[in-house]
Structure 1
Amino acid sequence: MENINKKNNNLYEQFLKYSYADLKELFKKAKTKDEQDFYIALSEIVLQREQERVIGKD
């Protein structure tokens, strides 16, 4: 279980490095619909987090 936690944490840390623009570019370069769907889902998470951050400041 510890090995899975390390991998999950590493994946999360990698995700945090991507900006919305990065994910949009990866979407454009995607070769399959599944890959496009994956990058869209991640970009929506990034936008949601940014919205929550902005709303939280009001």
Structure 2
Amino acid sequence: MEKLKGQNSLYEQFLKYSYKDLKELFKKAKTKEEQDFYITLSDIVLQKEQEKVIGKD
């Protein structure tokens, strides 16, 4: 955890990405594991947007 001092949290970095950004990273992914990672993150972004639309936020 030493290397995390003074850096943005992973969550803060994640918030900078849009659904479109993550889909683009998915397309450029070199492995199935990397594709799964980006699609999971894009699903989280969509879920957060859906919660805003239906008023859960």
TM-score (norm 1): 0.82
Structure 1, unpaired ranges of 5+:
none
Aligned residue pairs: how many? 55
Mapping of residues 30-49 of structure 1, within 5 Å: 30-49=29-48
Runs of 4+ in 1 over 6 A off after TM superposition: none
Question: Which residue is 2:55 aligned to?
Answer: 56
Higher helix share: 1
Query: Is residue 26 of structure 2 the alignment partner of residue 27 of structure 1?
Result: yes
Structure 2, unpaired ranges of 5+:
none
Backbone CA RMSD of aligned residues: 2.2
